[in-house]
Amino acid sequence: MPAAGRRNAQSTVVHPSDSQVSEAQMHQRIMVLYRVGKMLRRKVGHEREDKAYDQLMRTKTLHIIIFSMTGVVSMIVGGCVTWYTGEFRTDTTWDTANPGMKTVILCLQIIVTLTTVVACCLITQFYRLLLVNKRKEWSGIDDPVNDQQSRAIEAAYSFWRSSWLKYMYILEILIHLIHPLFIFQSFSTSLYTLCQIFMFTRLYLFSRMLHTFSRPYKLRIEIINSNREFQTMNLRIKMGLTLKMLFYNKTVLVLCAALGVSITVFSFMIFLLERNEQKDEFGRLENVLWFTFITFTTIGFGDFVPKTLSGRICTVLLGITGVVITTIFSGVLTNKLAPTKIQRYIVEYLAVRSTLRVYEEKAAFLLQAVFKQHLLKKRGMTSVPSHKSNKVYGAIKGFRRARFAVKGAILPSMDPVLEDKLTQLKHYLVELDHRLQEQHTQVRTLQQTIDYEMASILRTLGIGGGG
């Protein structure tokens, strides 16, 4: 058998090409497993908090929003200026504008285009920072000390082979590159209007700003380190969680901001889409703001009605947004107006106090009726035709109603969450008692079995000793 084993081993080593290939594959697998192991061992709760990196990401996000929103504001100003300076409430184009107006249009166009280019450059820098963080995470190397570690970091995560990082970068660049150019008006006014409306898609940047500047995201390392379960889950403080926490903590502020942004954006969109068709109704911003507000709040007086297909689609989206935000606001307002613990205690105290007073009066009336009935019976004057006409029976019924009223005043004012927890605790105690009884039964059975076996062993030893 050893000789056969040696022959088999020699036969597997004979082919040099196969051994080289297998060695290269084995080395590649080891490197992959090493990186995966590093990645799995690098729990978020144990990572070093890089405050400089977070501060740099927040700064980049703030700069992107400033330049991007500057372009949006310039576009809105240009859309209003070209309309209100036109003759007979018509949109002023490059061909119909006077020299002074052409200067204004050119300056606003330069601001929009320049801020767009700067925002695209900042977005590229932002994603380069994300790529650096991804490479460090996948390679397991924080600070490279030599060229070999630097090459390992660069090979750990490829940008163009990634899925979400590559597509998100391309999508953001496309969102910012599509902006209105005044030369579009020479070809198609509708194309220029659509590019103006498309610039409002840049508002998604506010969700990123709220995420990176939120307190849960800033303290994510401390939060995760404080809970072992979060560490074992490799929990990430993502954007959805931070936005929910912000809405929970700053409900009124978030809803007011959403209301203001929605009315402003939809007002300008409807203003662009309907002003050429209905100059008297939608050619004024005050009328458009009024229409947007009554549509947003689902009132709908019907004094202004859009006629174009794009305007009607925008109005439908406005109504849906208004219904969603109004519903959320109603639910939050109901939750905010819910009684607190102190209010529930005061309500319970007042309800119990009033019912106890009636309860005491009914109890006193019952005692008086019983005592009078006892005196009448003692004197032999109890000639009552029916028991229901007896005052004692009426007093008993009143006493029972008062007792039920006291119970009804106590039970509704109790905390439902506390009642639920107490009910669950009762179920747990019953289940625990049942399991303890089962364990006790098993222990008794095991003890009886041990006693029986010991008795049989002793009898065997006794028989053996006697023989």
Q: Are 285 and 83 in contact (CB under 8 A)?
A: no
Of 292, 75, 92, 90, nearest to 203 by C-alpha is 75
Using a 10 angstrom Cβ sphere, with 0-12 exposed, 13-18 middle and 19 or more buried, the burial of residue 203 is middle
Using a 10 angstrom Cβ sphere, with 0-12 exposed, 13-18 middle and 19 or more buried, the burial of residue 61 is buried
Q: Are 195 and 116 in contact (CB under 8 A)?
A: no
Report which listed range, 33-42, 86-95, 197-206, is most confident: 197-206
Helix residue spans in 85-204 (DSSP H): 99-139, 147-156, 164-177, 184-187, 189-198
Q: What is the pLDDT of residue 45?
A: 36
Q: What is the DSSP letter of 335?
A: H
Question: Does residue 46 surpass a pLDDT of 60?
Answer: no
Mean pLDDT over residues 303-323, rounded? 92
Q: What is the pLDDT of residue 405?
A: 81
How many angstroms separate the CA atoms of 130 and 126, rounded? 6
Q: What is the pLDDT of residue 410?
A: 66
How many angstroms separate the CA atoms of 237 and 216, rounded? 8
- Give Cα 317 distance to the centre of its chain: 23
Residue type, 23: E
Mean pLDDT over residues 304-308, rounded? 90
Give residue-wise pLDDT tens across range 365-410: 888 888 887 777 777 765 544 444 477 778 888 888 888 887 777 6
Task: Give Cβ neighbours of residue 281 (< 8 Å, ≥ 6 apart).
Answer: 274, 287, 304
User: How would residue 244 be classed by pLDDT, with cut points 50, 70 and 90?
Assistant: confident
Q: Are 79 and 272 in contact (CB under 8 A)?
A: yes
Give residue-wise pLDDT tens across range 84-137: 886 656 677 777 778 888 899 899 999 999 999 999 999 999 998 888 887 777
Tokens 């840049």 -> residue: 202
User: How would residue 24 be classed by pLDDT, with cut points 50, 70 and 90?
Assistant: low
How far lies 399's CA from each of 370, 375, 392, 408, in Å?
13, 21, 10, 14
How many angstroms separate the CA atoms of 119 and 173, rounded? 9
Task: Give Cβ neighbours of residue 287 (< 8 Å, ≥ 6 apart).
Answer: 281, 304
Report the percent of the chain where pLDDT is more than 70.
78
How many angstroms separate the CA atoms of 128 and 452, rounded? 77
How many angstroms separate the CA atoms of 128 and 135, rounded? 11
Of 195, 172, 184, nearest to 72 by C-alpha is 195
Report which listed range, 3-7, 232-236, 357-361, is most confident: 357-361
Q: Are 189 and 91 in contact (CB under 8 A)?
A: yes
Q: Are 71 and 201 in contact (CB under 8 A)?
A: no
